[in-house]
Amino acid sequence: MPIAHRVDHERKVVIERAYGVLTDEDVFNFQHTVWSDPAVAGYNELADITHVSEIALPSIHRVRDLAMKAVEMDSNSATSRFAIVAPEDLGFGLGRMFQAYREMEKGSRKEVGVFRTLADACEWLGIPNPPAMPDVPKTADP
């Protein structure tokens, strides 16, 4: 799976970095695997897609499907934030689309922000210093 992640329990944030060719299957599997863990319920999320070389979607409708799945998995006990770092136009646009779909869902408990830089995303999340990001395999750097 081309998504490396770690959980920072001190800051209550799931930190992830995608790399290489990112498919909808990768993202849905990640969503299910990580957010099924009750230990991270209500945590913020920081996703960096700077190292993604290609986003492979069978249909643009999968962005809506992912937003709906994410809302279903939201913690009922707390609201949180999800910052997406997407310096490239395609990733940024898909992130904004995900943000819009999530905002339209009644049960959404996570506010989404899409940013061009890690520094801006961390500021929005209230993280004073950018956290250590998960390593990306050397062969995955574009």
Q: Which domains does the chain have, with CATH numbers?
A: 3-131 (3.30.750)
Going by C-alpha positions, the residue among 115, 30, 116 that lies closest to residue 73 is 30
Q: Phi, psi at residue 38, to the nearest 5°?
A: -65, -20
Q: What is the CA 66 to chain-centroid distance, rounded?
A: 11
Considering the chain, what is the average pLDDT of its residues? Answer: 92
3-class state of residue 80 by DSSP: strand
Per-residue pLDDT tens over the stretch 66-89: 999 999 998 887 899 999 999 999
Average pLDDT over residues 31-57: 94
pLDDT at res. 141: 47
Instruction: Give, rounded to a whole angstrom, the gap between the first and last alpha carbons of the chain.
Output: 17
Per-residue pLDDT tens over the stretch 94-117: 999 999 999 999 889 999 999 999
pTM across the whole model = 0.92
Pairwise CA distance, residues 108 & 104, whole Å: 8
Question: Between the CA atoms of 68, 70, 71 and 73, what dihedral angle is there, to the nearest 10 degrees?
Answer: 130
